[in-house]
Amino acid sequence: MKKIYLIALLSICLKSISIGQTKDSIVEACDLNREVDQFTEKVTYNIADAGGDISYVKVIEKGVPRYYLSIWKKESGIYTGKGVILILENGKKIEKPNETVDYTYSSGDFYTKIFMKLNTNDIALLKESGIAKFKIYITEGFTNSAKETTILFNCLVKAK
């Protein structure tokens, strides 16, 4: 009986861990923030990369998930316009030429920012490969770890 219990436990643990990752890195990577609206029962998850420039949001309303991407990039001035290009680690691109780019002022700094809804194709690409570089309007940036953004996004996708 003990043997069956241990095999079952081991099988559950192995399903949680991808090759090349430790259990601790997955636990840290999946530190999702979760909020439930008490009136509508809408569930919102969000998670950000270590640098805090890139964050993902998942909203589940009436059983239907929607995914969003937010990028904030510190600037020396105010830049607004249109256009977002994401270059993934595998070289593929997500291009949104009509996406509105805005700005905000926080704690004495300007930030160029976007908040965009992800479609089915975007979701499939981000599950496969993380964001390596981005351009929002005229501002270019990069992530510290494209692999981290892939892990974070996949954690979000798995959240129920």
The pLDDT of residue 107 is 87
Cα dihedral sign, 99-100-101-107? negative
The pLDDT of residue 64 is 95
The pLDDT of residue 22 is 39
For 127-137, what is each residue's pLDDT tens digit?
999 999 999 99
Q: Of 76 and 97, which is predicted with more confidence?
A: 97
For 48-90, what is each residue's pLDDT tens digit?
887 778 999 999 999 999 999 999 988 887 878 899 999 999 9
Q: Of 141 and 117, which is predicted with more confidence?
A: 117
The residue-averaged pLDDT of 123-128 equals 96
At 140, is the pLDDT very low, low, confident or very high (cuts 50, 70, 90)?
A: confident
Q: Which two tokens stand for residue 94?
A: 């997500």
> Are 46 and 30 contacting, i.e. CB atoms less than 8 angstroms apart?
no
What percent of the chain is predicted at pLDDT more than 70?
82
Beta-sheet strands, E only, within 33-106: 33-36, 43-48, 54-61, 64-75, 81-88, 93-106
At 141, is the pLDDT very low, low, confident or very high (cuts 50, 70, 90)?
A: confident
In the predicted structure, residue 97 carries a pLDDT above the cut 90: yes
In the predicted structure, residue 10 carries a pLDDT above the cut 70: no
